[in-house]
Chain A
Amino acid sequence: MQYQSPASIDEAVAALASIGGACVLAGGTDLLVQLRSGTASRAAVIDVKNIAALRAIAETADGFRIGAAVCGADITEHAALVAAWPGVAEAAGLIGSTQIQGRASLGGNVCNASPAADTTPALIAARAVAEIVGPNGKRSIPVEQIATGPGKTSLASGEIVVSFLLPTRPARSADAYLRLIPRTEMDIAVAGAGVNLTLGEDGTIADARVAIGAVAPTALVLDAAPGILVGTKLDEATLATLAEAAGAAARPIDDKRGTIDYRRKVVGVLAKRAALIAYGRAKGAR
């Protein structure tokens, strides 16, 4: 197996395109596990951690741009980012453990395309856009368009996710992400929910976006959420409707980690609780 560590995006794209069976290596916390257990084999790994653009967090006129290989610890230690996007940051901060946090990236989490990836629902709720470079140039797509099924993405061969752009947002906005795991860490989500809200001056919800994870082959946008939440102040009835809608939208499976019935119920509970947290944060936000 070959290992390359290019210093620029162009070199990385070229390497990916020229070596058959090559893939991107970011933190390696998914890839190395797969290679060692024999569930994946690769002719070459192209390490993108030496490309500056993939390791930077920048606050721009368009919003926060987070390099695809930035690790979780760098995200949760970035005060301005955490203040603006507490939900995305808490999703990134949930991955693994202290050790894993020093490696695991958003790019790896999203591109590994696990249905249970924690940052994906948070990024989708945040309307994050993935900025991609490939042999045919640049393109940008919403995060929900990357994963197409477990372990499968819409990325063409040779394409790299360079960064995620979190849009600028109005005042009184905040997000939240919650997942359920049987333990407190080092585990995989049985269900997850990301909620992103903007409130009007009187505390009425003006904009809402909800995404759910681990309850379908890919994370799902909860299409019903704006209709349920906008115009409310999150009263009991609204929360119950939201929970029900999340459960109904879920298309879970029965497996060793949970039953269909359990996942439907719990994703609703998480959506409700995440909505309450995001609401509380948005009220307190500038």
Chain B
Amino acid sequence: MEPFKTLKSRTVVLAQPNIDTDQIIPARYLTTTRRDGLGAGLFADRRFDGDGRPRPDFPLNRPEVADCEILLAGHNFGCGSSREHAPWALLDYGFRAVISTGIADIFRSNALRNGLLPVVVSETQWNTLAGFEGEQIEIDLEASTVTAPSGERMAFEVEPFGRFCLLNGTDPLGFLRSREDRITAFEESGPWRR
């Protein structure tokens, strides 16, 4: 995983609440044994009509948002399934961060483990940021702040271990493996674990 330190990008807004993982990546794209290439299916049923033509009213289809790396999403983003294909699709499409007033549990931990930064802000802060759609905002993970074009700085919280891994490009599996002795001892001590 690439380290994530700061990110400066314009934003695209998807204000609708409860955008679920089936909308992020419809199930028919899940018959893959790989993790790359899923950007093609990102929001597929929202981005394209029945004939595969882009829907002009879907925010991601506006030409001026083409290189946005920050998605400003409605409340409870990523609810639904545990499919890691959802953050994979967002990353493959080019997003590096999602800002919302609420991000679903499993999606958030999946995002964090893949270098897609989940940022939770208050409703007021979200509204402020939405007012700057299309303008550059800055995310600083070290300082854990989002800075609006107005200069307003908003602090956010990320689970400290996930933050550490992201800042340093550390693989959490390495941490788990460094505890193998303890795991073995635990297995041997458990009253009902052979």
Query: Do A and B come together as binding partners?
Result: no
